[in-house]
Amino acid sequence: MQAFTSVSGAAAPLMLSNVDTDVIIRIERLTSGADLGHFAFEALRYLPDGTPDPECVLNEPRFSGAPILLAGRNFGCGSSREGAVTALMGMGVRCVIAPGFGDIFFANSFRNGLLPVVLAEEIVERLAAQSRDGNFTVDLQSQTVEAPSGEQVAFSVDKLQRDGLLEGLDDIGLTLKSSADIHAWQMADRVHRPWVWQTER
Amino acid sequence: MARTLFEKIWDAHVIRDLGDGWALLHIDRHLLHDLSGPPALDEIARRGLAVCNPGLVFATPDHAVSSRPGRDAKSFELGGYLYDMLKSRSQAAHIRFFDLGQEGQGIVHVMGPELGLVLPGVTLICGDSHTCTNGGLGALAFGVGQSESAHALATQTLRQKKPKLMRVRFEGAIGQGVTPKDLILHLIGSLGAAAGSGYAIEYAGSAIRAMPVEGRLTICNLSVELGAKYGLVAPDEKTFAFLEGRRFTPQGASFNEAVASWRELFSDDDARFDREEVIDVGSISPTVTWGTSPEQVIPIDGVVPDPAAASDPEERKTRQAALDYMGLEAGRPIAGTKIDWVFIGSCTNSRITDLREAAALARGHHVARGVTAWVVPGSETVKRQAEAEGLDHIFRSAGFEWREPGCSLCVAANGESVPSGARAVSTSNRNFVGRQGSGARTHLASPAMAAAAAIMGELTDVRRI
């Protein structure tokens, strides 16, 4: 997994509530082997004829390839498709700042090197108001967002997830170190709840 | 110490405490489908790892298979490719694969409960957000992405953070024409689509106790539309009766032993929840969505809300965008809105009880001119049962298409979609932009409401039929 320490650059403001993972990436783009970054937010970014919609904030030249996305409430709600994270990263996004996230999207982000930052809605709005004023920096080590105005905003990420992202840790490798514990738990469970294990029918 | 239902199941599965509320949890059941299964199996193969406990993993194709009558695995070409991958990789890993045309094939969250693979007190995952459906049997069931699915395949565990706990009590007796789908849509409309974010939700109260297991599965199914990864209902006599005799349910003395332990699975009287809500179900009408988020609901006798009424500018913008997409006008009654398509199916509402509910309305009527109406049973078993009861005949006589089991128009990943601009009444779970097809407009509703809309050619109050 790609590690994340800090990122600096433009922050695109997509201040809509409940942007779901179907809107982030349509299901058939996942199954057809398409360039996910190109098709991210396609219903928002492109007109029916496939040309970029000049009205869409994500198509403003200053936000092309922006590594930070400022989003509305409940970003990434809906489907568990991990391709939603891949699609954002395909656009160049490494960090999404929002008042809240869909729980599965939030978990998937950490598994792929995308940092989701939760900040109070009024703070996200304040940051969005500065999105055309210059670059932002998000630093996971110090857990701060620096706005173009110089304002520093603190955020917090669980230590387990922070360490995983900072070091690009492999969860499966870590868990496999507990194989003996897992095996012992299963042996005891086979006695305690035998019916769970009776699946040969 | 008093504990909630959720905590009892969670605690029983902790292999290691990882600190700060995180735990290494044992996963008792893992379901794989054709979209998220193959990449997860590929990932562990790429790392040279084996499936830890293949006997606890079960696979079936549902998302990308055609639902066309007479279909085979290749009727939708891309789906055929995913089907081949799921089948070959499952078989190579000694994972049981329920093939097309076999009992067991179907939408994962329909086939799991019906086979007795989902049991009270188990932990269950699937690379699918609607895995919360299975909490209706008292399981701790949740959706994951493919990375977590790969982790669970390789280790039979997941690293999870214990969520906050919410209890929603549905109290009272539900009115005529009102179904579990209406209750949960009403709840999402009342609390908002993000209310459950970070929570596990236990549904309780007299209306839940009186509700058949299938209805509880529908309620739990839409937990993720409320923002919650988990929804669950304490198992009771209805649950045990539902499970007894199913293929993978423990048999004989083992069943009795299991039931004895399942009887302990309830929230203690003084257990603490982080949030509690009480809903008077007597006040709930048949409910439909008007917008592009499941929180955008109104009773069928309501009017389309005016975005200008929202105080928050982000909310106004979001609602206006939804109205524009849906082609609706604020202030107009929602009933009477002309429709083009009806879809009865999905992991929300494709069980035998749902099909009976829809067939009861369809009997003796005919689908309105210009409306395309599909019935897609949730599983091979549901299909056979419905055909044994003659429901397929009722639907066909009424002008509905009777199709093969799968996800079909709920997710539109199988070559089937609602045309752009067309208005659909759907018993599924997501009215998102483009969900049922690029530009398709979705109104979520109960099976009865969907059948009524098909017959009338417009959104209709089922209580008037």
Q: Is the dihedral of CA A51, A53, A54, A60 positive or negative?
A: negative
pLDDT computed for residue B48 by the predictor = 96
A170 falls in which pLDDT band (50, 70, 90)?
confident
B409 falls in which pLDDT band (50, 70, 90)?
very high
- CA B243 to chain CA centroid, Å, is 19
Query: B334 near B302, Cβ under 8 Å?
Result: yes
Say whether residue A23 is in contact with chain B using an 8 A CB cutoff.
Answer: yes
Topology agreement, domain B5-262 and domain B287-464: yes
What's the rounded mean pLDDT across residues B58-75? 97
B465 falls in which pLDDT band (50, 70, 90)?
confident
Task: Measure the CA–CA gap between B73 and B82, rounded to whole angstroms.
Answer: 9
A186 falls in which pLDDT band (50, 70, 90)?
very high
Asked if the Cβ–Cβ distance from B227 to A77 is below 8 Å, we say yes
Query: B83 near B97, Cβ under 8 Å?
Result: no
Which of A78, A175, A195 is the closest to B258 by Cβ?
A195
Asked if the Cβ–Cβ distance from B433 to A196 is below 8 Å, we say no
Query: B423 near B290, Cβ under 8 Å?
Result: no
B287-464: CATH topology:
Aconitase; domain 3 (3.30.499)
Q: Which residues of B touch A80 (CB under 8 A)?
A: 36, 127-129, 143-145
Which of A22, A74, A197 is the closest to B434 by Cβ?
A22
A34 falls in which pLDDT band (50, 70, 90)?
confident
Say whether residue A30 is in contact with chain B using an 8 A CB cutoff.
Answer: yes
Alpha-carbon distance B335 to nearest alpha carbon in chain A (angstroms): 26
Asked if the Cβ–Cβ distance from A160 to B22 is below 8 Å, we say yes
A200 falls in which pLDDT band (50, 70, 90)?
confident
Q: Which residues of A touch B117 (CB under 8 A)?
A: 199
Task: Measure the CA–CA gap between A177 and B68, rounded to whole angstroms.
Answer: 47
Task: Measure the CA–CA gap between B47 and B68, rounded to whole angstroms.
Answer: 38
Q: Which two tokens stand for residue A51?
A: 């040309």
Q: What percent of chain A has pLDDT above 70?
A: 100
User: What does the pLDDT look like over B308-355, one tens digit per residue?
Assistant: 999 988 889 999 999 999 999 999 999 999 999 999 999 999 999 999
Does residue B18 carry a pLDDT above 90?
yes
Query: B228 near B200, Cβ under 8 Å?
Result: yes
Interface confidence (ipTM) of the complex: 0.96
What's the rounded mean pLDDT across residues B44-48? 95
What's the rounded mean pLDDT across residues B238-249? 98
pLDDT computed for residue A31 by the predictor = 81
Q: Where in chain A is the domain with CATH 3.20.19.10?
A: 6-169
Alpha-carbon distance B386 to nearest alpha carbon in chain A (angstroms): 25
- Assess if CATH 3.30.499.10 describes domain B5-262: yes
Query: B289 near B313, Cβ under 8 Å?
Result: no
Q: Which residues pair with B3 in a beta bridge?
A: none
Query: What is the domain partition of chain B in residue ranges?
Result: 5-262, 287-464
User: What does the pLDDT look like over B357-395, one tens digit per residue?
Assistant: 999 999 999 999 999 999 999 999 999 999 999 999 999
Phi, psi of B283 (to 5 degrees): -90, 0
User: What does the pLDDT look like over A97-123, one tens digit per residue?
Assistant: 999 999 999 999 999 999 999 999 999
Q: What percent of chain B has pLDDT above 70?
A: 100
Task: Measure the CA–CA gap between B289 and B358, rounded to whole angstroms.
Answer: 19
Spatial CB neighbours of A111, under 8 Å, sequence gap ≥ 6: A1, A82, A85, A171, B145, B147, B148
Say whether residue A17 is in contact with chain B using an 8 A CB cutoff.
Answer: yes
- CA B277 to chain CA centroid, Å, is 22
Asked if the Cβ–Cβ distance from A30 to B35 is below 8 Å, we say yes
Of A46, A54, A192, A165, the C-alpha closest to A110 is A165
Alpha-carbon distance B352 to nearest alpha carbon in chain A (angstroms): 24
Q: Which two tokens stand for residue B276?
A: 């509690």
Q: What percent of chain B has pLDDT above 90?
A: 98
Task: Measure the CA–CA gap between B257 and B241, rounded to whole angstroms.
Answer: 15
Write down how long chain A is: 201
Query: A127 near A150, Cβ under 8 Å?
Result: no
pLDDT computed for residue B128 by the predictor = 98
Q: A interface mutation test: which of B77, B102, B293 has the most A CBs within 10 A?
A: B293
- Pairing label, strands B341-344, A144-146: unpaired
Q: B interface mutation test: which of A1, A45, A103, A187 has the most B CBs within 10 A?
A: A103
CATH of domain A6-169: 3.20.19.10
Q: Which residues of B touch A104 (CB under 8 A)?
A: 129, 143-145, 224, 229
Q: Which residues of A touch B321 (CB under 8 A)?
A: 16
Does residue A33 carry a pLDDT above 80?
no
Task: Measure the CA–CA gap between B128 and B150, rounded to whole angstroms.
Answer: 13
